[in-house]
């Protein structure tokens, strides 16, 4: 499969690229600064340099892909439009290139569907206040993705941690996973790659968390 990965130099994006290559996929890793990718050249890997101000470069990066992964991270706790700005370029580029499959990483903390009473009434309001700018950006990005007409999947993880893949995580479609409040980035990357080829997850939100 030909994959284009945005945010490829980030903590999750780099793992998506590594795992995709290990699985035999061909990957276009889209970065602003190739030096930050920290991946040795290898068969199946193409590095594309693009910013979201360069619509032609983004279009070139997605053209010919079977699927696109948006694994962009946030930018701290201050006001931000990183995710929504990216979606306003990636989605039209995919539409123009005729690429339909899109998997984006957002955050389960921005949603309360499926959460228990304590989490909905106490934990999420506090979390939502601290991370209000990033969550607003992610929700705006999700709205663009949902309205795109593409075959999208929104992956919703909780707090991300480091460490090797465990190969175990829980998932739930349309509602948050209960009783688990973190996931390793390596397991999130695994979940993202599985979602890419899972037709049951087209136009669905998938919550994932440690198993």
Query: Which pLDDT tens digit goes with each residue over 149-178?
Result: 999 999 999 999 999 999 999 999 999 999
**pLDDT for 75:** 66
DSSP 41: -
Q: Which of 197, 157, 200, 171 shows the shortest CA–CA distance to 12?
A: 157
Asked if residues 197 and 168 have their Cβ atoms less than 8 Å apart, the reply is no
Distance CA 109, CA 125 (A): 10
**pLDDT for 78:** 86
Structure tokens at 122: 């106490």
CATH number listed for the domain at residues 2-210: 3.40.50.720
Give strand pairing partners of 31. 49
pTM for the predicted model, two decimal places: 0.95
Structure tokens at 60: 């070139």
Mean pLDDT computed over 14-40: 95
Instruction: Examine the pLDDT at 7 and tell me if it is beyond 80.
Output: yes
Mean pLDDT of the residues in the chain = 95
pLDDT tens by residue, 117-130: 888 888 888 888 89
Q: Which of 191, 2, 45 shows the shortest CA–CA distance to 106?
A: 191
């Amino acid at each position: 499969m030909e994959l284009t990965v945005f945010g490829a130099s980030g903590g999750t994006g780099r793992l998506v690229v590594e795992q995709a290559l290990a699985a035999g996929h061909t990957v276009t890793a889209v970065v602003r600064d190739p030096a930050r990718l920290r991946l040795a050249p290898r068969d199946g890997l193409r590095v594309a340099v693009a910013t979201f101000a360069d619509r032609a470069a983004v279009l070139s990066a997605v053209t010919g892909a079977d699927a696109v992964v948006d694994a962009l991270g946030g930018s701290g706790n201050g006001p931000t439009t990183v995710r929504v700005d990216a979606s306003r370029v990636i989605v039209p580029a995919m539409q123009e290139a005729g690429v339909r499959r899109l998997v984006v990483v957002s955050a389960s903390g921005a949603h309360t569907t499926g959460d228990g009473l304590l989490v909905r009434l106490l934990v999420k309001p506090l979390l939502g206040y601290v991370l209000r700018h990033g969550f607003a950006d992610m929700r705006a990005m999700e709205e663009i993705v949902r309205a795109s007409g593409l075959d999208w999947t929104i992956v919703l993880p909780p707090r991300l941690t480091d460490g090797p893949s465990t190969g175990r995580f829980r998932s739930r479609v349309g509602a948050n996973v209960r009783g688990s409040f973190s996931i390793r980035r390596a397991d999130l990357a695994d979940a993202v790659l599985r979602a890419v080829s899972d037709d049951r997850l087209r136009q669905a939100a998938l919550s994932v968390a440690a198993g």
